[in-house]
Amino acid sequence: MTHLPFIAVAYALGVAIPVGYAIAAWQRVASARRKLAAIDPRMSRP
């Protein structure tokens, strides 16, 4: 019996989980910036 499927799944999870966290963090930052722009008049200046 080969362990290749388990190793492949481990590597896939090792890549997918950090990518998922990165995408979630990016979405939270974008949401926070939109909320801040809505309440802070300084955010409208270039």
pLDDT digits (tens, 9 = 90+) for 7-33: 999 999 999 999 999 999 999 999 999
The DSSP symbol for 40 reads: -
Residue 42 in this model has a pLDDT that exceeds 90: no
Collapsing DSSP to helix, strand or coil, 5 comes out as helix
Higher pLDDT among residues 43 and 42, named by residue: 42
Whole-number Å distance between alpha carbons of 22 and 24: 5
Domain ranges of the chain: 4-44
Pull the structure tokens for residue 36: 């801040």
Q: Which long-range contacts (CB under 8 A, 24 or more apart) does 32-35 make?
A: none
Pull the structure tokens for residue 33: 């910036």
